[in-house]
Amino acid sequence: MAEKILDVKDLVVEFNTDRGGVTAVNGVNLEVFKGKTLGLVGESGSGKSVTALSIMRLIPTPPGNIAAGEIRFRDKNLLDIPLDNMRSIRGNKIAMIFQEPMTSLNPVFTVGNQIEEVLELHQKELSNAQRKEKAIEMLRLVGIPSPEQRIEEYPHQLSGGMRQRVMIAMSLACEPDLLIADEPTTALDVTIQAQILELMKKLQDELGMGILLITHDLGVVAETCDDVAVMYCGQIVETADVKTLFAHPQHPYTKGLIESIPSFDSTSGKVKDRLPTIEGMVPSLFNLPEGCNFQGRCQNVSEKCRGSAGEPKLETIATEHQVRCFHPLS
């Protein structure tokens, strides 16, 4: 078994809003192993990004508040250490890349400046010349042609794919143990997405970091992740290794998500059937139903799901396969 890098236990994150309190993340458990990729899937508002930001302790407090749980990174509980000390971990041991590369890069500094800043903060022993050399080396590593020139350029001079490569170069400059990628390819075109995913895989093989990949695209999950956790309304509803999850989804929501992706194998000429859908929509976090959160959209709903037996628990049904459902699919 590979070394466990990150272990999130029963994480609860709440937000105080004008309309009252909401629990954006409700008892999430995650494990990321060295050299492996965990995919965190879910629709907008399911709490994926809040989970990621909590790991980095970047939740704005107030209004946000990590109410309970543990975030174990190697042997430390990140929630116990003072915020000031977090700065030596962020960008150094745990790095994060965001969805929109344009808004995460500073437009008034050169690319080189921004990569060197990371090194300046975390590797103080390096001289200016060494930092520059390292920045060039990072750009080369992420496949940017003529890095000696690119290092002097500003973000607006780069294309979307190039910017995301720069973001990856920045995040990997200190060789982190854990990389959190929050929808890293959502803003990119498919051919560029393919390049970036390939690059992340290659760098993972070389540097051996664990990746927490947040995405809503199950195609991306199928191609890049080793394990998957599916989130719905702030809770993990199913977790398994990627092959099991796609072959035998146990939660009706997971099954619905997989089926609602149009596939190419439709036979030529014949009138296409309707896409299977999940009826209805995600309930508001302000107004979650009693019992199972998915009851309003579920085909197999019973009295038990409507609250008579409380909330369904995340049950282990096979090795490494857990599901939160009273009536898991066989």
Partner 1 sequence: MSEYLLEVQNLCKKFPIKGGIFGREVGAVNAVNDVSFKIKKGETLGLVGESGCGKTTLGRSILRLIEPTSGAVIFNGQNIVDFDANQMREMRRKMQIIFQDPYASLNPRMTVQGILSEPMDIHKLCMDKEVRKKRLLDLLDQVQLPADALNKYPHEFSGGQRQRICIARALAVEPEFIVCDEPVSALDVSVQAQVVNLLMDLQKDLGITFLFIAHDLKVVEYISKRVAVMYLGNMVEIAESSELYGGARHPYTKALFSAIPKPDPTLKKDRILLEGDIPSPMNPPSGCHFHPRCWNATDECRKDYPGVKAESSTHEYRCFNPIQLSEK
Give the residues lining the site for partner 1 (CB under 8 A): 43-44, 159-162, 189-195, 197-198, 216-224, 242-243, 246-247, 256-258, 260-264, 266-269, 272, 274-279, 281-282
Q: How far is the CB of 45 from partner 1 (least distance, A)?
A: 9
Alpha-helical runs (H) found in 208-328: 218-224, 242-247, 252-259
What dihedral do alpha carbons 195, 199, 205, 207 form, nearest 10°? -170
Alpha-carbon gap, residue 157 to 111, rounded angstroms: 10
Decide whether 79 or 288 has the Cβ nearer to partner 1: 288
Decide whether 75 or 273 has the Cβ nearer to partner 1: 273
Decide whether 226 or 311 has the Cβ nearer to partner 1: 226
Between helix 111-122 and helix 128-141 the angle, nearest 10°, is 120
Q: How far is the CB of 242 from partner 1 (least distance, A)?
A: 5
β pairing state of 235-241 and 321-323:
antiparallel
Alpha-carbon gap, residue 50 to 7, rounded angstroms: 16
Q: How far is the CB of 34 from partner 1 (least distance, A)?
A: 21
> For residues 207-218, b (16+ Cβ closer than 10 Å) or e, as one string?
eebbbbbbbbeb
Residues in CB range of 287: below 8 A, 6 or more apart: none
Decide whether 263 or 319 has the Cβ nearer to partner 1: 263
Alpha-carbon gap, residue 147 to 143, rounded angstroms: 9
Q: How far is the CB of 256 from partner 1 (least distance, A)?
A: 6
Q: How far is the CB of 107 from partner 1 (least distance, A)?
A: 19
Q: How far is the CB of 305 from partner 1 (least distance, A)?
A: 18
Decide whether 212 or 228 has the Cβ nearer to partner 1: 228
Please check whether residue 166 is in contact with residue 152, taking contact to mean a CB–CB distance below 8 angstroms.
no
Question: How many CB atoms are closer than 10 A to CB 67?
Answer: 13
Decide whether 249 or 328 has the Cβ nearer to partner 1: 249
